[in-house]
Structure 1
Amino acid sequence: MIYVGLTGWGDHPDVYSPGSKKTEKLIDYSAHFPIVELDSSFYAVQPERNIRKWIEETPDQFQFVVKAYQGMTGHQRGENPFETRDEMFDAFSKSIRPLKEAGKLAMVLLQFPPWFDCQKENVDQLREITERLKEFDMAIEFRHQSWYAEGMSEKTLEFLRENHLIHSVCDEPQAGDGSIPLVPVSTRQDKVLLRLHGRNVHGWLNPGHGQKWREVRYLYDYNQKELEEISRAVKALSDTTENVYVIFNNNSGGHAAGDAKQFQEMNGLAFEGLSPKQMDLFEGEF
């Protein structure tokens, strides 16, 4: 099965029903897509009440890809609110456990920063982190090219296989050491993740500072030829893996929803069990 979704549900105006309230955005979103990447969990461990609210607002079959808290993967900006590492991991696990219990946790996404390169110290850290989160399915996303260097790529993939970790395949700008190539290989038979970051090389290399860096980095609109290329990668993944999760993260200019819908149309994908609030806002556009 191929599932398609977007990063977050709060910034995709094309999928909201006319007159929808801010609090209804997830309900509207789940009328269009069967999965979502929960990225607010990267910036703060979410209160359990939020998680339970999101469980209630989504259909029974809806799935969340939960992005791991930044302090766990070496991205920490500002002061860490947790006194100990144990406290941080315990709080995160407790926060998302209701999703697993409800059958709505597709995986935890551990996205490592561009400076997390392929060396023994980092491999050891990876083992330590995944051991702490072993109750969950985990996807690993690297951002340093050394993990896929000649002679190292297969070792990286074998490490993921041996540890029953999901490979986060990426489509992103090819911009030196701080980016990785598209490697459409699954390391588990049941699940694989493909995240589409766009191909804005200039924005990737020069994202700027402050709150607007995401707006620059992920400003991209996939064209027909590129979506065909991505479709071939998804087909290769689906030939070896039961469930392929495809997340469009190129939303700086509001392109993610439209690109995801176009991708669905090109591949004849239709999803059952969506929210009954389905509004055919995209009908006739593709």
Structure 2
Amino acid sequence: MIIVGLAGWGDHDSLYPSGTSAKDKLRRYGDHFPLVEMDSSFYAVQSADRMARYAEETPGEFRFVVKAYQGMTGHLRGKPYYANDDEMYEAFCASLDPILRSGKLAAALFQYPPWFDCTKGNVGLLRETKKRMEGFPCALEFRHQSWFEPAFRERTLAFMREEGWIHSVCDEPQAGIGSIPIVLEVSRPDFTLVRMHGRNVGGWNQSGAANWREVRYLYDYNDDELLEWKTRIEKLVAQSGTVGIVFNNNSGGHAAENAKRFMRLLDLPVPEFPGTDAPEQLDLFDF
């Protein structure tokens, strides 16, 4: 099975009728895609009540990829919010629990930063993280090229399989040591994650710039690139029960259209953008 979605649901204006409130966007998003990556969880662990509401607001077959809190992946700058790691992981697991119990958790995504390289200490950290997350499906994404250099590629994949990590396969700019190649390998038979970051080479390493969020994921996939990925997805589907594809090229507003175009190439049903829906009927007796 193939499921396609976007990173976040709040920034894709083309999906919603004009005037749609922020609180109604997730419900509307679920009319278009069966999968979403939640990135608000990276900045702050969400309350269990809020996560339960998200589960209730989405269709039965809907799935979430929930990005791990930044304090868990080495991104945090400034004073820690939690007193210690035990408290931090306990809060994150409690947050995930309503999504897990609803059957809608595809994965908690642990995306590590470009400075998280392939060392014995970092391998140990990944083992400890996986133990702390026992009972939750977890996806692993690297940003440092060393994990997939020839000397470590097979050992990295073997480690993910042994530890039960879901492989997050990436399409991203090849921009030096802080980017990884496309590695079409499955680490678990039940689920594989694919994240489409775009190919903006010039903007990829500009995280120190004031407008880096506006340029890093600025990319519009063309049909030839999507057709290449159709062949790749077919290879992954042959090895994995479900492949979830997330378009993260949000900077220029291209993600939603690219995702729907890709769904058509994959012969998946594609709901239309707003403006083609039949008007809602008024209930004259609802006072």
Q: Same fold (TM over 0.5)?
A: yes
Aligned length: 276
Q: What is residue 247 of structure 1 aligned with on the other side?
A: 246
Instruction: Report the equivalent of 1:179.
Output: 179
Identity across the alignment (%): 53
- Per the normalisation by structure 1, the TM-score is 0.93
Secondary structure of the equivalent of 1:177? coil
CA distance, structure 1, for counterparts of residue 254 and residue 151 of structure 2: 36
Question: Deviation at 1:135?
Answer: 1.3
Q: Structure 1 226/282 Cα, relative in aligned 2: closer, same or farther at 3 Å?
A: farther
Q: Is the 8 A contact 1:31 1:279 kept in 2?
A: no
Report matched runs for 1:148-227 at 5 Å.
148-210=148-210, 212-227=211-226
Task: Provide the C-alpha distance between the structure 1 equivalents of 2:213 and 2:151, rounded to a whole number of angstroms.
Answer: 33
Instruction: State yes or no: 1:30 paired with 2:30.
Output: yes
Report deviation, 1:22. 1.7
Q: CA deviation at 1:128?
A: 0.6
Which SS does the other structure have where 1:176 is aligned? Answer: coil
Shift of 1:280: 4.3
Instruction: Confirm or deny: 8 A CA contact 2:5 2:247 kept in the other structure.
Output: yes
Deviation above 6 Å: which 4+ runs of structure 1? none
Aligned equivalent of 1:121: 121
Letter in 2 for 1:15: L
Query: Given residue 12 of structure 1, which amino acid in structure 2 is its aligned partner?
Result: H
Tell me if structure 1 keeps the 8 A contact 2:249–2:255.
yes
The AA in structure 2 aligned to 1:108 is: A
Work out the CA distance in 2 between the residues paired with 1:167 and 1:2.
Answer: 15
2:97 counterpart letter in structure 1: R
Distance in 1 (CA, whole Å) between partners of 2:133 and 2:191 is: 17
Q: Answer whether contact 1:208 1:216 (CA < 8 A) is retained.
A: no
| Alpha-carbon separation, structure 2, partners of 1:86 and 1:78 | 19
1:219-268, Cα deviation, whole Å (9 max, x unpaired)? 00001111111111111100111100000000100000000000001110
CA contact (8 A) 2:17 2:275 kept: no
Q: CA deviation at 1:282?
A: 8.7
Q: 1:10 to 1:99 in 2, by over 3 A?
A: same
Secondary structure in 2 matching 1:183: coil
Distance 1:65 1:205 in 2: 25
Which has more radius of gyration? 2
Instruction: Write out per-residue CA displacement over residues 149-206 of structure 1, whole angstroms, 9 at most, x where no aligned residue.
Output: 0121111001011111110000000001000000111111111000000000000022
TM-score (structure 2 length as normaliser): 0.93
- Relative contact order: is structure 1 or structure 2 higher (C-alpha 8 Å, sep ≥ 6)? 1
